[in-house]
Amino acid sequence: MHHFASRLRALAAAALVVSSFACPAMSEELRIGYQKSSTLTAILKTNGELEKALAPLGVTISWHEFTSGLPLLEAINIGSIDFGADVADTVPIFAQAAGAKLAYIAAEAASPAAQAIVIPQSSPLKTIADLKGKKIAVTKGAGSHYLLLAALAKSGLSFKDITPAYLTPADGRAAFVSNNVDAWVAWDPFLTSALHQSNGRILADGSNGLASYKRYYLASAAYADKHGDVLNVIFAKLSETGKWVKAQPKDAATLLAGLWGVDAATVEEANSHRSYQVGAVTGPGLSEQQRIADAFHAEGLIPVKIDTTAIKIWSPKGS
């Protein structure tokens, strides 16, 4: 049986070699992971501009949607995708603590109002201190995870003072709407959409230095080493698309409303909370990353102390 299996493997390997000679690869596939909240990437996926810009390099794209940032970066780490659209600042920290070999490619500037702790309109809670002993829906590893931690710390509370319910954005929303949790930490577009539809109110967002909420684009370190030409094109297209969203808020909202299944006015409001300002990542620009990592480690949410600058930083041409 063993001999038969090894012969089969040998035949399969031989067939692979023959087929690769018979059909030379004319194009290279770039595998992009994204989330619903990856606005600029969703626009590029819809308008085909990135495919058009990469065609001269012989690069085609396959698109892969994830429910949240952590699984997306895990997929980059194991090599099933090459490039990840924007994830919240916290996500690379969890991935780095787990030993992922990643590279920062670009950053979206701070958007502190784009995530918040929300409570039902009828809730008796008035301050963050009132969250003591309460059950709070939060997505593990998301930017909202740090916002909750930072808000609790400012009120002299820790994660041990609350009961976290680790849920995806969709499940968090369902729990919030059906009053199965006392509060929910959400980010846009989920945040604005839920506030409009469920009559919730904001207990705290990231303003006043609580959590600046930058979003980062990452690739595998190996991909960044070899494909600077592709990454330069992606960087330029993201930057251009971010400027377009801010310059044409109504057009952008109409396009995204169709993708997200949310009304255009809600999308426009959600987009107003986001900077969409795409820039290069720098060591000094990662200073808040270190504060987040240290806070997570102190709470036992990541097992090791990490140096957030000990990760590859790719720079676009001319930056």
What pLDDT tens digit does each residue of the chain (319 aa) get?
Answer: 445 344 434 444 444 444 334 344 568 999 999 998 899 999 999 999 999 999 999 999 999 999 888 899 999 999 999 999 999 999 999 999 999 999 999 999 999 999 999 999 899 999 999 999 999 999 988 899 999 999 999 999 999 999 999 999 889 999 999 999 999 999 999 899 989 888 789 999 999 889 999 999 999 999 999 999 999 999 999 999 999 999 999 999 999 999 988 999 999 999 999 999 999 999 999 999 999 999 999 988 899 999 999 999 999 987 6
Which 3 state secondary structure label does DSSP give 180?
Answer: coil
Category of 255 on φ-ψ map: left (φ > 0), alpha (ψ -120 to 50) or beta = alpha
pLDDT (0 to 100) of residue 21: 42
Residues 6+ apart with CB under 8 A from 9: none
Measure the CA–CA gap between 176 and 194, rounded to whole angstroms: 9
pLDDT in tens, 173-204: 999 999 999 999 999 998 999 898 887 899 99
Place of tokens 């303003």: 207
What Å distances lie between residue 219 and 47, 59, 92, 310, CA to CA?
Answer: 22, 16, 11, 15
Q: Provide the mean pLDDT of the chain.
A: 90
Q: Which CATH architecture has domain 112-205?
A: 3-Layer(aba) Sandwich (3.40)
Looking at 3.40.50.300, 3.30.1180.20, 3.40.190.10, 3.40.710.10, the CATH number of the domain 26-110+214-313 comes to 3.40.190.10
pLDDT (0 to 100) of residue 208: 87
Cis peptide before 284 (omega within 30 of 0): no
pLDDT (0 to 100) of residue 5: 42
Measure the CA–CA gap between 134 and 292, rounded to whole angstroms: 23
Measure the CA–CA gap between 250 and 230, rounded to whole angstroms: 30
pLDDT in tens, 271-294: 999 999 999 999 999 999 999 999
Measure the CA–CA gap between 28 and 59, rounded to whole angstroms: 5
Give CA 191 to chain center in angstroms: 15
pLDDT (0 to 100) of residue 26: 62
Measure the CA–CA gap between 40 and 137, rounded to whole angstroms: 27
Half-sphere CA count of 216, side-chain side, radius 13 A:
28
Measure the CA–CA gap between 61 and 202, rounded to whole angstroms: 39
Category of 42 on φ-ψ map: left (φ > 0), alpha (ψ -120 to 50) or beta = alpha
Helix (H) or strand (E) holding 65: strand 59-65
Name the E strands within 112-226: 115-120, 135-138, 163-166, 183-187, 200-205, 215-220
Domain boundaries, given as residue ranges, for the chain: 26-110+214-313, 112-205
Asked whether the domain spanning 112-205 has the same topology as the one spanning 26-110+214-313, the reply is yes
Category of 253 on φ-ψ map: left (φ > 0), alpha (ψ -120 to 50) or beta = alpha
What Å distances lie between residue 85 and 156, 219, 270, CA to CA?
Answer: 35, 9, 18
Quote the pTM value.
0.84
Q: Which amino acid is at 183?
A: A
Measure the CA–CA gap between 200 and 3, rounded to whole angstroms: 65
pLDDT (0 to 100) of residue 103: 97
Rg (CA), the chain: 21
